[in-house]
């Protein structure tokens, strides 16, 4: 791709691409093999500590309603999953996915992180995929899974969004892009940029790719209208309220990459730290998550979605009992959310530990009965066929893969 | 080539400004580092000690919340706690603005570059919204006063600063045979994080001559380094591991843990020849080239060892070496420095920048920095921001820079400067012909200014 891009001028490239350029031939050169794998994996980090007990509610456990008199008062049988669990109403749009076997969960899971319950340490560990911070952090597990794989290219994996994600950092090449970066410039401006960068191939190349990507994820770089239109576009580019829809832009961009040569995408969704008024505050983040999954499916189209597995994981769950401010505090066990056409969905994986006080972790948190990294590892193994030993020693050091949970079709 | 005023400002400072004359000699650059700290006076940042009352209050509130009996009580405490948090958000924004203003308006910009360099060498990151606001106070307390002294004094200031003790978990470290561990054994033990990073990042470097045993022994020696919200740094005897400990073959301490043994090992580590080379090489990489000239690194290492790590001598050796001036301007400005050198070239008045409200600061500074890949004070790990130029030359980074270059100058100044003048302000009278042409050929001021800011000559140094 690098070669193809530098040979043509910035302008020819950007002008050639229309608004719906997701599958533009410039982004998907046919002269290379399309990466090492055919299946797709989407990793979503849910930052802030998703309350698994509120997202996927264990109605079948009589202790649940007792522990949460206010958070669990709307039980009316709606959104029932399997007679024991029911979804939070905000996830209702995902019911068709559940029914089609394209949505699943693993409950009472967590990473090995315990005791301190700090967001920052918890997220670092989750993304590093290691059991303890004592020996420092070198890279993220998503990057490690790409290391030493023949045929991995810069666009095999994409880290999407304006955050630097530890998950994707490391020795293997991973592209990053934030669809919130919108560039607007006149044709003349683009031509002058090209002129001044001619002497600096590295900058020119990065700029050229930037213009192609910016053109492909929404408004074109070079507007058709007057200078006033351009000013308006630029101002809207910088408007903070654009951030409100940024999860959808991320999903659309992710789907476009998965349809092309990319096999792995990762991004994060926030807003889960619901210490107070949880019923109201968790609604937005859950609907965002539902929207993202639906947009991914729509954007991927049937054939790509059929090969796609999505895993969404968080740094820790939250306390079983609601607190004094109608919320929950940092806990331990929680839920992992899975989706995709490749998923053997329609089921909740894992054992249920119970919610009686003696069954809780530290007498306060949902007892984790399984390592969330084990499910991520099986998603990788079933999608890409990586070695058991490599997963257990290198990608997620210290896990035991155990028996195949048969998550994927 | 030797000293050149334009190059001095670009390579060793934050770029040219139409309102600030570049230094006229190496001597002036050096006295700028050790002389009165005018920028700290003009744009003050508090010491961490200033916050001891507020931090103590925060801990008390958290404790009270856990003990709260009624819903009203919890609600009230949560509200107070939120108010305090908001106060810290404001400090965080103000300190960021002050730090940027210093770098934008300094006539001794080499000093500001060094302050940033050392703050990054000794990276700390705040682990919650309170301590995130205090990262700049750490630089103020531990880095800035030690810029032109000995490396060991800066090392000691850093290793005993609360922000470092919090960031690298030293505060949680308890000697396995300490009094505290005997009293309440469960769940407490040694934490090697700070000891490891002191050896791997701060002094010897990752390829240095130390083993896991050295890390462990140093961690045992470090026990007792602690922090209290009300007092600041605090040596907690109850946490100390009974000694002695052997680090790099030398025995430190005795039965009782003492602070002076910790200071002694830090001094020895600071004066180690491998530390001298590690620091010299990093300084040359940062200021001159990713691929440092070995003879230049040798010269700096020798100066370091001759003076027991006198940083002024190190800077003088660097600035007096022709290689430091000859090497092509190839280092990529990281996003912060891209924005700051743009503010300098645009001569954005201090009052304008200081007067930005929260929303403007977000859309003109914090959000763009994040998109460019360098969120303010939040590198991913204790190794700080990468020195490698390639990291900053990504499509995402370039797009975010272009987006900023097209929008921010107009938003800050109302009207962008005439690009034909701006090209001289930003790049000097010898600006390359193609950039001068492009500035004049742009179809409006906005694009002319953006083309100059995006030019390789402006983005590299």
Q: What is the pLDDT of residues B116-145, one digit of tens each?
A: 999 999 999 998 889 999 999 999 999 999
Q: Are residues B194 and B292 in the same domain?
A: no
Instruction: Find chain B residues with C-beta within 8 A of A213's C-beta.
Output: 395-396, 399
Q: Could you say which of A135, A214, A240 has the minimum Cβ distance to residue B363?
A: A240
pLDDT of residue B192: 86
CB of A192 within 8 Å of a chain B CB? The answer is yes
Q: B70 — contact with chain A (CB < 8 Å)?
A: yes
In a domain, B157, yes or no: no
Q: CA of B103, closest CA in chain A: separation in Å?
A: 25
Do B181 and B296 fall into the same domain? no
Chain B, 354 to 393: residues with Cβ < 8 Å from chain A are 359, 362-363, 367, 370-371, 373, 375, 380-382, 389-390, 393
pLDDT value, residue A229:
66
Report pLDDT for B322: 95
User: Is the pLDDT reported for residue A24 higher than 60?
Assistant: no
Query: Which of the given ranges, A12-21, A89-98, B173-182, has the highest pLDDT on average?
Result: A89-98
For residue A134, the model assigns a pLDDT of 76
A142-169 average pLDDT score: 89
Query: In this predicted structure, what is the pLDDT of residue A72?
Result: 87
Predicted pLDDT of residue A2: 34
| A158-198 tens-digit pLDDT | 999 877 789 998 889 898 888 888 888 888 899 999 999 99
| Residue recorded with tokens 């058709």 | A224
- Residues B348 and B290 placed together within one structural domain of the fold: no
The parent domain of residue B290 ranges over: 273-326
Residue of B nearest to A208 (CA): B395
Indicate the average pLDDT of chain A. Answer: 86
Q: Identify whether residues B267 and B277 lie together within a single domain.
A: no
Task: Judge if B299 and B382 occupy the same domain.
Answer: no
Do the domain assignments include residue B158?
no
User: pLDDT digits over B304-318, tens only?
Assistant: 999 999 999 999 999
Q: How confident is the model at residue A228 (pLDDT cuts 50, 70, 90)?
A: low
Q: Tell me what pLDDT residue A3 has.
A: 33
pLDDT in tens, A246-270: 899 999 999 999 999 999 999 999 8
Count of structural domains within chain B: 4
Is there a domain that residue B217 lies in?
yes
Q: Is the pLDDT of residue B70 over 50?
A: yes
Which residue, of B148, B173, B193, is where some domain finishes? B148
Domain co-membership, B137 together with B116: yes
Which of B78, B191, B399, B441 is most worth mutating to test chain A (most A CB atoms within 10 A of its CB)?
B399
Q: Which of residues 47-66 of B touch A (CB under 8 A)?
A: 65
DSSP for A351-392 reads -----SGGGSBTTTBPPP-EEHHHHHHHHHHHHH---HHHII
Residues of A in contact with B394 (CB under 8 A): 176, 206
Question: A79-88, A207-216, B58-67, B202-211: which range is least confident on average?
Answer: A207-216
Q: Which residue has the higher pLDDT, A239 or A211?
A: A211
Q: Which of B68, B128, B442 sits opposite A324 (nearest CB)?
A: B68
Of B397, B437, B443, the CB nearest to A188: B443
Residues of A in contact with B362 (CB under 8 A): 240
Q: Is B400 on the interface with A (CB under 8 A)?
A: yes
End-to-end CA distance of chain B: 16
Does the structure show a pLDDT above 90 at A60?
Answer: yes
By C-alpha distance, the chain A residue nearest B197 is A136
Give the residue-averaged pLDDT of A89-98: 97
Lowest mean pLDDT among A134-143, A213-222, A223-232, A275-284: A223-232
Within this chain, do residues B143 and B200 fall inside the same structural domain, yes or no?
Answer: no
Q: Which residues of A touch B438 (CB under 8 A)?
A: 192-193, 195-196
* B353 located within any domain: yes
Same domain as B431, residue B314: no
> With a CB-CB cutoff of 8 Å, which residues 95-134 of chain B face chain A?
125, 127-128
Q: What is the pLDDT of residue B50?
A: 97
Q: What pLDDT, on a 0 to 100 scale, did the predictor assign at position A178?
A: 87
Q: Is the pLDDT of residue A70 over 60?
A: yes
Residue B159 inside a domain? The answer is no
The secondary structure of chain B, three-state, reads: CCCCHHHHHHHCCCCCECCECCCCCHHHHHHHHHCCCHHHHHCCCCCHHHHHHHHHHHHHHHHHHHHCCCHHHHHHHHHHHHHHHHHHHHHHHHHHHHHHHHHHHCCCHHHHHHHHHHHHHCCCCCCCHHHHCCHHHHHHHHHHHHCCCEHHHHHHHHHCCHHHHHHCCHHHECCCCCHHHHHCCCCCECCCHHHHHHHHHHCCCCCCCCCHHHHHHHHHHHCCEEEECCCEEEECHHHCCCCCEEECCEEECCCCCCHHHHHHHHHHHHHCHHHHHHHHHHHHHHHCCCCCCHHHHHHHHHHHHHCCCEHHHHHHHHHHCHHHHHCCCCCECCHHHHHHHHHHHHCCCHHHHHCCCHHHHHHHHHHHHHHHCCCCCCCCCCCCCCCCHHHHCCHHHHHHHHHHHHHHHHHHHCCCCCHHHHHHHHHCCCCCHHHHHHHHHCCCHHHHHHHHHHCHHHHEC
Quickly name the fold that domain A39-184+244-395 has: Alkaline Phosphatase, subunit A (3.40.720)
Classify residue B195: in a domain, yes or no: yes
pLDDT tens for each residue of B248-269? 999 999 888 999 999 999 999 9
pLDDT score, position A238: 63
Helix or strand or coil: residue A285? Answer: helix
Statement: residue A325 has pLDDT above 80: no
**Interchain contact, B381 vs A137, CB within 8 Å:** yes
> Same structural domain for residues B418 and B304?
no
Output the CA angle B379-B382-B388, nearest 5 degrees.
65
Instruction: Establish if A99 touches chain B: CB-CB under 8 angstroms.
Output: no
Q: Do both B397 and B316 map to the same domain?
A: no
Residues B25 and B116 in one domain: yes
Query: What is the SS3 assignment for A89?
Result: helix
Q: Is the CB of A56 inside 8 Å of chain B's CB atoms?
A: no
- Residues of B within 8 A of A238 (CB-CB) are 363, 403, 407, 411
* pLDDT at A26 exceeding the cut of 50: no
Q: Which of A17-31, A37-51, B202-216 has the lowest mean pLDDT?
A: A17-31
pLDDT score recorded for residue A7: 37
Q: What is the pLDDT of residue A27?
A: 37
Whether the per-residue pLDDT at A1 is higher than 50: the answer is no
Residue B390 and residue B292 share a domain: no
pLDDT digits (tens, 9 = 90+) for A295-312: 999 999 999 999 999 999
Of B326, B345, B368, which one is at a domain's C-terminal end?
A: B326
Whole-number pLDDT of residue B315: 98
Give me chain B's average pLDDT, please.
95
- A228/B contact by beta carbon, under 8 A: no
For residue B217, is pLDDT > 80?
yes
Nearest CA in chain A to B372: A162
Residues of chain A with Cβ-Cβ distance to B402 below 8 Å are 183, 185, 193, 207, 210
């Amino acid at each position: 791709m690098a070669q193809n891009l530098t040979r043509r001028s910035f302008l020819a490239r950007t002008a050639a691409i229309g608004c719906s350029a997701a599958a533009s031939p410039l982004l998907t050169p046919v002269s290379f093999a399309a990466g090492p794998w055919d299946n797709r994996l989407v990793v979503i980090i849910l930052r802030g500590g998703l309350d698994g007990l509120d997202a996927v509610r264990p109605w079948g456990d009589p202790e649940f309603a007792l522990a949460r008199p206010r958070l669990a008062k709307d039980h009316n049988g709606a959104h029932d999953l399997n007679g024991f669990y029911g979804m939070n109403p905000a996830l209702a749009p995902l019911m068709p996915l559940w029914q089609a076997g394209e949505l699943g969960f693993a409950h009472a899971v967590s990473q090995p992180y315990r005791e301190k319950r700090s967001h920052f340490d918890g997220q670092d560990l989750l993304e590093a995929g290691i059991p303890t911070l004592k020996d420092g952090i070198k890279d993220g597990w998503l990057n490690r899974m790409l290391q030493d794989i023949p045929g991995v290219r810069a666009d095999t994996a994409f880290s999407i969004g304006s955050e630097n994600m530890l998950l994707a950092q490391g020795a293997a090449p991973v592209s990053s892009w934030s669809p919130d970066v919108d560039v607007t410039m006149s044709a003349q401006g683009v031509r002058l940029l090209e002129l001044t960068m001619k002497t600096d191939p590295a900058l020119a190349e990065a700029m050229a790719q930037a213009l192609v990507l910016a053109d492909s994820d929404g408004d074109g770089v070079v507007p058709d209208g007057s200078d006033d239109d351009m000013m308006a576009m630029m101002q809207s580019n910088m408007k903070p309220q654009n951030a409100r829809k940024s999860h959808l832009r991320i999903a659309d961009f992710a789907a476009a990459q998965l349809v092309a040569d990319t096999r792995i995408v990762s991004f994060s969704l926030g807003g889960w730290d619901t210490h107070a008024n949880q019923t109201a505050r968790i609604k937005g983040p859950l609907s965002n998550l539902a929207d993202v999954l639906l947009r991914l499916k729509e954007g991927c189209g049937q054939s790509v979605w059929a090969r796609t597995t999505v895993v969404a994981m968080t740094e820790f769950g939250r306390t079983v009992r609601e607190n004094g401010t109608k919320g929950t505090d940092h806990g331990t066990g929680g839920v992992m959310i899975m989706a995709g056409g490749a998923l053997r969905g329609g089921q909740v994986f894992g054992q249920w530990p119970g919610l009686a006080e003696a069954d809780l972790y530290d007498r306060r948190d949902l007892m984790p009965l399984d390592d969330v990294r084990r499910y991520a590892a099986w998603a990788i193994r079933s999608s890409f066929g990586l070695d058991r030993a490599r997963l257990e020693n290198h990608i997620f050091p210290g896990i035991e893969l155990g028996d195949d949970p048969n998550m994927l079709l | 080539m030797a000293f050149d005023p334009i190059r001095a400002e670009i390579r060793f400072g934050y770029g040219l400004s139409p309102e600030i004359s570049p230094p006229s000699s190496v001597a002036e650059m050096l006295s700028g580092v050790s002389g009165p700290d005018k920028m700290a006076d003009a744009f003050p940042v508090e010491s961490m000690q200033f916050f001891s009352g507020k931090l103590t209050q925060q801990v008390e509130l958290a404790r009270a919340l856990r003990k709260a009996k009624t819903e009203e009580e919890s609600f009230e405490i949560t509200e107070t706690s939120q108010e305090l948090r908001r106060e810290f958000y404001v400090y965080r924004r103000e300190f960021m603005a002050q730090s940027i203003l210093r770098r934008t308006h300094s006539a001794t910009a080499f000093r500001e570059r060094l302050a940033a360099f050392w703050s990054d060498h000794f990276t700390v990151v705040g682990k919650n919204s309170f301590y995130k606001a205090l990262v700049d106070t750490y630089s103020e307390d531990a880095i800035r006063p030690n810029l032109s002294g000995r490396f060991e004094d800066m090392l000691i200031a850093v290793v005993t600063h609360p922000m470092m003790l919090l960031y690298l978990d030293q505060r949680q470290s308890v000697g396995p045979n300490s009094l505290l561990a005997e009293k309440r054994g469960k769940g407490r033990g040694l934490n090697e994080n700070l000891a490891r990073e002191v050896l791997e990042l701060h002094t010897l470097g990752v390829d240095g001559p130390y083993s896991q045993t050295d890390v462990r022994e140093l961690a045992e020696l470090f026990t007792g380094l602690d922090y209290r919200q009300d007092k600041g740094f605090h040596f907690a005897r109850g946490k100390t591991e009974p000694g002695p400990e052997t680090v790099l073959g030398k025995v430190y301490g005795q039965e009782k843990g003492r602070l002076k043994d910790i200071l002694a090992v830090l001094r020895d580590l600071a004066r180690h020849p491998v530390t001298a080379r590690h620091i010299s090489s990093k300084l040359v990489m940062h200021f001159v080239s990713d691929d440092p000239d070995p003879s230049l690194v040798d010269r700096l290492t020798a100066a370091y060892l001759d003076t027991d790590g006198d940083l002024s001598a190190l800077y003088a050796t660097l600035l007096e070496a022709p290689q430091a001036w000859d090497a092509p301007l190839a280092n990529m400005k990281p996003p912060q420095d891209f924005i700051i050198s743009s503010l300098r070239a645009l001569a954005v008045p201090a009052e304008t920048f200081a007067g930005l409200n929260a929303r403007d600061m977000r859309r003109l500074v914090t959000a763009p920095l994040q998109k460019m890949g360098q969120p303010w004070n939040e590198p991913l790990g204790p190794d700080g921001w990468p020195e490698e130029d390639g990291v900053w030359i990504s499509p995402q980074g370039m797009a975010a820079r272009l987006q900023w270059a097209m929008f921010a100058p107009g938003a800050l100044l109302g009207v962008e400067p005439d690009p034909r003048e701006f090209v001289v302000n930003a790049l000097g009278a010898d600006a390359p012909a193609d950039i001068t042409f492009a500035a004049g050929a742009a179809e409006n001021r906005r694009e002319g200014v953006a083309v100059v800011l995006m030019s390789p000559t402006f983005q590299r140094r």
